Every structure is written in structure tokens, then in C-alpha cells.
Amino acid sequence: MRDAFIKETLAILDDDPRTALVLAEISADPFGKALANYPDRAINVGIREQLMLGVAGGLALTGLRPIAHSYATFLVDRAYEQIKLDLRHQGVGAILVSVGASYDGAQAGYTHMSPMDVALIDTLPEWIVHVPGHADEVGPMLRAAVGHDEPVYVRLSTQHNPEAHADALRLKVIKPGGKRTVVAVGAMLGATLEATKDLDVTVAYTHTPRPFDHSGLGEIAGAEPDIVMVEPYLEGTSAHLVAETFADKAFRLRNIGVQRADLHRFGTPKDHARWHGLDAESLRQRISAP
Amino acid sequence: MTLATLLTRLTGDEKHAPSAHSTLDVLWVLYDRVLNVRPGHEDDPERDRFFLSKGHGVAGYYAVLAAKGFVPHDWLDEFGGPSSPLGHHPDRLRVPGIEISSGSLGHGLGLAVGTALGLKAQGFAKPRVFVLLGDAELDEGSNHEAIAFAGAANVDSVTAIVIDNRSASYSPPGGLGSLFTVHGWIASEVDGRDHEAIYAALTEQHPGPHVVVARTETKNA
């Protein structure tokens, strides 16, 4: 996904003089060509994430469409107040693109993890959030995002699904089935399909959890909503939105995602998936529980 | 109507206006003689930009904007009220002529650096970007990210103005200007009440980013 992002962004910078790129050292090497070709709108500010967001806001104030990029924990967690005040509060937007989703950086430890990024973005008004599940979904969402001026967060991951569903901007039913509706977001689809292969449930997918597809979920879930949310970030991040979808009726909701826990452990993303109950076997038990 | 009268409408405090407002003289010189801005042309891409980073220095700012015709005078009477666009910190989406919404310290300089780069990228060579900060605001680390980068990248259309009213609990041993010059900025120091000196410093030509430290009365003197 990171390669797809770099390739598409290099092409976007070539194609559209209104676009800009702001880096804080991360990925400066692969973007070297753009930094050299467009010194005023492809900028590496050094290891300065607050400034990266401030510069993005300033570029947007002059009418450019900035893309800012770093690890999720440095881009979102560290620079949260700049995201809050230097973009939408000024009446401008930017495209923030992160790598290092949740426990992608398992060996690096908790300092390099951000399972809470989407929850933090969720505290702010009017953000579009893309969580691609496959590299082939990345290019089209970037192209769409440079076509307007809204604030957009793109969360890239080293985890991915076997197949791309570039059209899953809203909830897309991947596996029709029984009354229980399992919603898989981003790279959780692969493990979710494996976990449910002999279960009579409906599986729907999206790579764009914000804006939340209330009407799509309402249609898929039917008269007696029985929902399982499977999200690759902090567990329960979308719970308030599911509750909003079904504000006027009884519903059942099980939230599955990354636990609110600092494990102080390393290993691989696969290990962390197991520890957080997100491997196919754990998912199967949690999805099929009565 | 004089600036002092306009200020009185905001604060109701005739005795201390305008001397109570450390930013007032710099703001007046900027809007009266330096900035290429005018009412009705708030979106002209060729205009100069003024960013009030220390958003609490707003009373003098509103008074100057009213005196210069950006803001109707009667807006001043409801300063901070429920239907007033004039808050105790400025909101660019509510008030014509205001370039950034500020209040939380340490946001103006980063936005200014991005604005300067964005203007340059689009071929606008004329506009200058002025940012007004307070001496205590320089405590915020975000400023130092911007100062270091603007110096290294020679973002030369930015002029920072630091109102030094000795608000900070800890002052830098080498003076406020040294925080900038160590990164390649050019620093000037002026009497923050001396209009000719302020004007001269703000219109000097420099080959790199420029900071003007404007000394005023000590805040709690």
C-alpha cells in the first residue's frame, strides 16, 4: 500500500500543480524526485510533525491541496491539536496519509503503534476516513481526494486482503447469508471471510468508514439488526455510529477491534492479531457466539 | 473616530486604552503603512498576509480593523457576545480581513511558513507574510520547529514580530532575537511604541526570514 501511495502521489504531483506534499523525514527517500522537482510544493520539514501540519494548513490557505504523510502515531497522535486547529478550523482541508497502522510496527513496540488514530480523527467534524484493505484500492481514493478540498485521512497498512474492492466506498455485501451482519473494515476482510466460511452470516465490507454508511447498514441489517463490527483499529470506534443508525429500534452490536491495551510486547503483526483476538480462529468464536 | 475611542467601545476602559494594549502600535503601523491589504479585497491572492498568532491580543486588532474599514464599528459594542462575530480570540470564518483563527499559542508561525511556500509555488512573488507573536508564546515548541525550518529553507517572505512585554517566566539569556538568529534569521529590535522605528524595521529588505522584536512596557508593571 505504501508503494501504491508513493507511486500515485508522484503521478498526482506531476499531473496537478494545485497539489502539494509535506513530509517529516518519513518516506523522504522514495519521494526524492518530487522534493527535487517541486521545491516549493513538495517539502520535507525535517522531524517536525507539528510544523508538517501547520505548513499543510498554510499551503491550503493559499488554495493548494496538500498531502501530509508520516507514521500514524506521529501524524495523528502527536500533532492532534494542529490537525484540529490548522485545517478544518481555518476552513481548509488536507489529505493526511499514514503508515504504521495499529500494530504494523509490532517489533518497534507501542511507541510506533497507533490503534487510536481513527478514534482521534472521529472527535473532529466532517472528516472522510479511508482504510484501504488492498494496495489496488489506494490509487483511486487518492485521485478522488485531490479532486476536492475536504479533510481526508488515509490509513495505510502492511496488512491486506487477498482481493481488492475499489468500489466499496459504501458498505458492499461480499458474502450474502443469514441475519447476523458482519461488517469488516479495511484489511480485516480477509480474516473475517476465513472466520465465517462455514457460518450462516452476511459479510459486508468498506474501505471508507467515514462518512459512515448509515443507510447501507440499515438496509443490509433488516428489521432486527444483529451487527458485528470488525475494525482494524481501536475496538468500538464505530459503536456510536451503529447506535445512531438504529436510534429508533432495538439492536444487538458486538464490537471487535484492537484492544485498549499497552501489551509491552513485540513479535509480528500476526502475533498481535492473536493477542488482540483478531486472528481468524478468535474471530470465528467471537462472531459465532450467541 | 480615533483608535482610542474604538478601543473604548471594545473594553469600556478609557483610562488604559490604548497603552494597555502592547500590540496596538505595531498593528497600527502595519495596517496604516506596511500591509498591502484593503477592505473588499480580502481574497486577493496578491495581498500581504497578517497572522495574529497571539490570538488574545485581539482588542487592538479589532479596533484597527474597524478603523481601516474591514469591520463595522457597531460590531465592537458586542465584543464576545452570543451573536457577535468578534470573540476573545479571532475567527477567520467570521470576520473579514482576519487571516487565521488563533488562540491556542504556537500555531501562527507554522501556518505562515506554509502560506509563504504556497504563494511562492503559485508564482506570487509580491506578498509578504507577517506573523505577530508574544515573547511568552515563544515557550511553545511548535514555534521552534517553524523557526528552525524557515531559517534552513530560507523562507524569506516571512517576517515575525515578537511583542516583548516580558510576559515569559524564563527569558533566553541571549535575548529573544537569538532564538531566531541561531537558525539564520536576521533580527532587529525596536521600541514597540515608536512608529517610525517600527515602520523602518518592518520594511527593511533582507535576504532571509526576518524577526522584529518590539519591546513595550513590562506586562504587569
Q: Domains in chain B, ordered, with CATH?
A: 3-215 (3.40.50.970)
Over pLDDT 90: what percentage of chain B? 86
* Domain spans in chain A, listed from the N-terminal domain onward: 2-155, 172-288
Fold match between domain A2-155 and domain A172-288? yes
Domain at A172-288, CATH class: alpha beta
Strands A172-175 and A202-206: antiparallel
- How far apart are the C-alpha atoms of A21 and A68, rounded to whole Å? 6
pLDDT band at B217 (very low <50, low <70, confident <90, very high): confident
Q: Strands, DSSP E only, in A172-248?
A: 172-175, 181-185, 202-206, 226-234
Which burial class, exposed, middle or buried, applies to A84 when counting CB atoms under 10 A from its CB (0-12, 13-18, 19+)?
middle
Residue B30 scores a pLDDT above 60: yes
- Which of A119-123's residues contact partners 24+ apart within 8 Å by CB, and which partners? A119/A233, A119/A234, A119/A237, A120/A76, A120/A77, A120/A80, A121/A76, A121/A83, A121/A153, A121/A210, A122/A210, A122/A237
- How far apart are the C-alpha atoms of A109 and A96, rounded to whole Å? 23
- Please compute the mean of the pLDDT values over residues A203-228 and round it to a whole number: 98
- B6 vs B19, B58, B72, B79, B81, CA distance in Å? 14, 13, 11, 12, 17
Predicted confidence at residue B15, as pLDDT, reads: 58
- Please compute the mean of the pLDDT values over residues B151-180 and round it to a whole number: 96
Predicted confidence at residue B2, as pLDDT, reads: 84
Strands A181-185 and A226-234: parallel
Q: Are B56 and B89 in contact (CB under 8 A)?
A: yes
Predicted confidence at residue B20, as pLDDT, reads: 61
pLDDT band at A235 (very low <50, low <70, confident <90, very high): very high
Residues of A (44-103) whose Cβ lies below 8 Å from B? 45-46, 48, 50-51, 53-64, 66, 81-82, 85-86, 89-91
Residue A55: name the closest of B6, B112, B71, B69 by CA.
B112
Residue A113: name the closest of A131, A100, A126, A99 by CA.
A100
Predicted confidence at residue B219, as pLDDT, reads: 72
- Please compute the mean of the pLDDT values over residues B194-205 and round it to a whole number: 97
Give, in degrees to the nearest 5, the angle at Cα B54 between A54 and B160: 70
pLDDT band at B21 (very low <50, low <70, confident <90, very high): confident
- Please compute the mean of the pLDDT values over residues A20-38 and round it to a whole number: 98
Residue B17 scores a pLDDT above 90: no
Which segment of A137-146, A218-227, B16-25 scores lowest on mean pLDDT?
Answer: B16-25
First to last CA, chain B: 29
Residue pLDDT, tens place only, B38-70 = 999 999 999 999 999 999 889 999 999 999 999
Tell me B206's DSSP state.
-
Predicted confidence at residue B1, as pLDDT, reads: 65
- When computed from its CA atoms, the radius of gyration of chain A, rounded to whole angstroms, is 19
Residue B24 scores a pLDDT above 70: yes
What residue in B sits closest to A51 (Cα-Cα)?
A: B110
Residue pLDDT, tens place only, B98-157 = 999 999 999 999 999 999 999 999 999 999 999 999 999 999 999 999 999 999 999 999
* A85 interaction partners in chain B (CB closer than 8 Å): 101, 104, 107
- How far apart are the C-alpha atoms of A86 and A92, rounded to whole Å? 8
- Under CATH, which architecture does the A2-155 domain have? 3-Layer(aba) Sandwich (3.40)
Predicted confidence at residue B16, as pLDDT, reads: 57
Predicted confidence at residue A284, as pLDDT, reads: 98
Predicted confidence at residue B19, as pLDDT, reads: 57
Beta bridge partners of A29: none
Query: Are residues B118 and A63, on separate chains, in Cβ contact within 8 Å?
Result: yes
Which segment of A181-195, B12-26, B172-186 scores lowest on mean pLDDT?
Answer: B12-26
- How far apart are the C-alpha atoms of A184 and A199, rounded to whole Å? 15
- Please compute the mean of the pLDDT values over residues B81-102 and round it to a whole number: 96
- How far apart are the C-alpha atoms of B67 and B61, rounded to whole Å? 10
Query: Are residues B110 and A91, on separate chains, in Cβ contact within 8 Å?
Result: no
Residue B163 scores a pLDDT above 70: yes
Residues of A (33-52) whose Cβ lies below 8 Å from B? 38, 40-41, 43, 45-46, 48, 50-51
Q: Which three cell numbers stand for residue A172?
A: 458492499
Q: Determine contact: A126 vs chain B, CB below 8 A.
A: no
Q: What is the dihedral of CA A230, A233, A237, A242, to 10 degrees?
A: -30
Query: Are residues A57 and B112, on separate chains, in Cβ contact within 8 Å?
Result: no
Mean pLDDT of chain A: 98
- Please compute the mean of the pLDDT values over residues B61-90 and round it to a whole number: 95
Query: Are residues A63 and B122, on separate chains, in Cβ contact within 8 Å?
Result: yes
Secondary structure, 3-state, B49-105:
EEEECCCCCHHHHHHHHHHCCCCCHHHHHHCCCCCCCCCCCCCCCCCCCCCCCCCCC
Task: Name the residue among B101, B104, B110 with its Cβ closest to that of A58.
Answer: B110
